[in-house]
A and B are shown apart, each in its own frame.
Chain A
């Protein structure tokens, strides 16, 4: 075989793999990028403003953390063809099932409120009133969800994922010093020592990387998409690429705020966008658009995670491939969650700070349980067969899960008792 024939053969092989990936890609990318939701953007903006580039190394550590946890949901979904809620009910019984389902419902609803808070704050920068933002979002999500095809929904969601990359040009526009990023950001260091403030921010970064809804969402998404056991390899690649993109976006946000707002007090991403606008109108606008997009992506995924879970347990038709007539309860629960959460930021004097606090605390009750169930399910050789966790996978995933449980518990407890770790 001559050189050109070999090159052509290789190209065809790679192109075939790329096409296969493009068909299977979706759940991993969407869940990972949606992970950078409104709360996540605030956390990264605050991280950059407070510590500059110094915590970039820590964010890089979150790539394997996010990947190893989420790839287990791909295997579980593809092998069992069941969502996470149904898997918990069936494997661990009704007690743990109801506990997970009701906890998921509460966490998702509270998180959804924070997404609406983020979206209304982002568009208020452009003069859009909060009520109009809520109506626009609900209408937009109706169009996305009611088309009756998972495929179309996923492609639109991926379009919003692309918009999340807006932080990349923003980071280039601030002209950061590459030597500073490499020198300060890539060498592990704890600026000012491990004090309460730094510890809280590190825990917040972990908390925003792995959220309970992500496990439920990705597994249900894998099932709704119809991924088979043969697709697991590509599903895992999808998740891996997603985890790299999500952390990269986080790093670009840190670079933006670390360059322009270093030392400024940042409580939320909308404040960061407003402050950035004073320096450079476009960068501030990019930050606000990114915040709105992050909230929207989060809202799309979170409300679906709840509806899928309820559909699985109550035996309703629960697929995006169904029309409203075929799955009325699935869509009713979707819009009920969405509409009730959307109304909260419009209520004058609504306890939004308390809700944000509650999200952290209630998530701590669900996340450890969901993660423990995930590992136990992945060790059920009777169901998982050759896709059960290997010894190495168990060591890695158990270490990660134990670390997440300890840190997220400390995060939740410190939200309840702010002076505890001082």
Chain B
């Protein structure tokens, strides 16, 4: 139990340490990150779709 608590407090510490991105949020950076989010979202949707179709077949 103590180890699990320590682990989660470490995660919180990491989240705190890296809460503010240091890279300058220029327009190019913002656009790149937004496109990346959309790309990953679509990819995850595709994987979920595949997973559901496989489950249906099984």
Q: Which residues of A contact B (CB under 8 A)?
A: 89-94, 96-97, 99, 313-314, 361, 364-365, 368-369, 372, 376-377, 379-380, 382, 409, 412-413, 416-417
Within 8 A of A (CB), among B13-34: 14-15, 18-24, 28-29, 32-33
Smallest CB gap from A93: residue in B: B21
| A416 pairs with B21, CB closer than 8 A | no
Bound-state CA distance A56–B33 (Å) is 36
| A372 pairs with B32, CB closer than 8 A | yes
Bound-state CA distance A151–B23 (Å) is 33
| A416 pairs with B50, CB closer than 8 A | yes
List A contacts of B36 (CB < 8 A). Answer: 368-369, 372
Bound-state CA distance A158–B36 (Å) is 36
Bound-state CA distance A89–B13 (Å) is 13
- 6 more A-B contacts (CB under 8 A) besides A92-B23, A372-B36, A417-B50? A92-B21, A93-B20, A368-B36, A369-B36, A376-B23, A416-B46
| A364 pairs with B23, CB closer than 8 A | no
Given A380-B24, A416-B46, A416-B50, A90 and B18 contact (CB-CB distance below 8 Å) = yes
Let me know if B40 is at the binding interface, CB within 8 A. yes
List A contacts of B28 (CB < 8 A). Answer: 376, 379
| A364 pairs with B19, CB closer than 8 A | no
| B22 pairs with A91, CB closer than 8 A | yes
Q: Which of A93, A368, A380 has the most CB of B within 10 A?
A: A93
Bound-state CA distance A93–B21 (Å) is 4
| A93 pairs with B19, CB closer than 8 A | yes
Bound-state CA distance A382–B21 (Å) is 14
| B46 pairs with A97, CB closer than 8 A | no
Bound-state CA distance A376–B28 (Å) is 9
- The tally of residues in B whose CB lies under 8 Å from a CB in A reads 22
Let me know if B43 is at the binding interface, CB within 8 A. yes
Smallest CB gap from A361: residue in B: B47
Bound-state CA distance A94–B20 (Å) is 8
Q: How far is the CB of A317 from chain B (nearest CB, A)?
A: 15
Q: Which residue of the partner chain, among A90, A376, A412, contacts B32 with CB atoms under 8 Å?
A: A376
Q: Which residues of B contact A (CB under 8 A)?
A: 10, 14-15, 18-24, 28-29, 32-33, 36, 39-40, 43-44, 46-47, 50
Q: Which residue of the partner chain, among B10, B18, B43, B44, contacts A97 with CB atoms under 8 Å?
A: B18
| A93 pairs with B18, CB closer than 8 A | yes
Q: How far is the CB of B4 from chain A (nearest CB, A)?
A: 15
Bound-state CA distance A93–B19 (Å) is 6
Bound-state CA distance A361–B49 (Å) is 14
Bound-state CA distance A364–B15 (Å) is 26
| A365 pairs with B23, CB closer than 8 A | no
List A contacts of B39 (CB < 8 A). Answer: 368, 409
Smallest CB gap from A92: residue in B: B21
Bound-state CA distance A38–B19 (Å) is 39
Bound-state CA distance A89–B16 (Å) is 11
Bound-state CA distance A230–B45 (Å) is 46
List B contacts of A90 (CB < 8 A). Answer: 18, 21-22
Bound-state CA distance A91–B19 (Å) is 10
Write 17 A-B pairs (CB below 8 A) sorted by A numbering: A89-B18, A90-B22, A91-B21, A92-B33, A93-B19, A93-B21, A94-B15, A96-B33, A97-B18, A313-B14, A314-B10, A365-B44, A369-B40, A372-B32, A376-B32, A409-B39, A416-B50
List A contacts of B20 (CB < 8 A). Answer: 93
Closest 5 CB pairs of A and B: A91-B23, A93-B21, A94-B18, A89-B18, A94-B15
List A contacts of B44 (CB < 8 A). Answer: 365
Bound-state CA distance A382–B40 (Å) is 28
Bound-state CA distance A413–B14 (Å) is 34
| B19 pairs with A94, CB closer than 8 A | yes
Given A91-B21, A314-B10, A376-B29, A365 and B40 contact (CB-CB distance below 8 Å) = yes
List B contacts of A91 (CB < 8 A). Answer: 21-23
Bound-state CA distance A296–B39 (Å) is 34
Bound-state CA distance A365–B40 (Å) is 7
List B contacts of A376 (CB < 8 A). Answer: 23, 28-29, 32
Q: How far is the CB of B24 from chain A (nearest CB, A)?
A: 7
List B contacts of A379 (CB < 8 A). Answer: 28
Bound-state CA distance A64–B46 (Å) is 32
